[in-house]
Amino acid sequence: VGEADGTVILTVDKTGENVTPLQVTVTVNMMSATAEDFTAPPQTLTLPPGGDQQLQTLTIQIIDDSIAEGMESFSVELSTRRGETGLSLGELSTTTVTIINNDGIAFGFTQARYHASEGTGGVAVTVQVLSGRLETTVTVRMYTVDGVATTSDDYRAVDMNMTFSSLMTT
């Protein structure tokens, strides 16, 4: 589910006849997602009396934050309540929900132009996080491209990876 989708709806399909309401326990198991990424569904799902093919839904709110992070997952498990009779679970009693992040991180230089005099040994170029928040380590590739100055005559080529970890901005 996309982080900006707002909700994910899980459908529980009941087959068979029951004359009294049946209750199923709903358990959320954190994987890489945390409680800040979604709102947990109710802990109990009530299946009303009736015949085959009654569908019940669990609606889970997805929280659209501004944190750039990888995909995050949690699982939802159905189980029978202790002492519940006339109820058994099918083979699909657990599902995994993966939240696809929509927050990009923008990187950029701190200046539009950098100047160096010949013979001074070089220039320091600073790259910074322009937008987004880092929650994980991100690697950015930086390399030089010839323009008026060329690698054959004016500078040494640079091709390097810069690693930003959470809380870093430059």
For residues 98 and 114, give the distance between their C-alpha atoms in angstroms, rounded to a whole number: 43
Query: Comparing 134 with 36, which gets the higher pLDDT?
Result: 36
pLDDT digits (tens, 9 = 90+) for 50-104: 877 678 888 999 999 877 777 889 999 998 866 666 677 888 889 999 998 887 7
pLDDT digits (tens, 9 = 90+) for 156-169: 899 999 888 876 76
Q: Which amino acid is at 43?
A: Q
The model's pTM is 0.61
Q: With a cut of 80, say whether residue 132 has pLDDT above it.
A: no
Per the CB < 8 A criterion, the answer to whether 97 and 39 are in contact is no
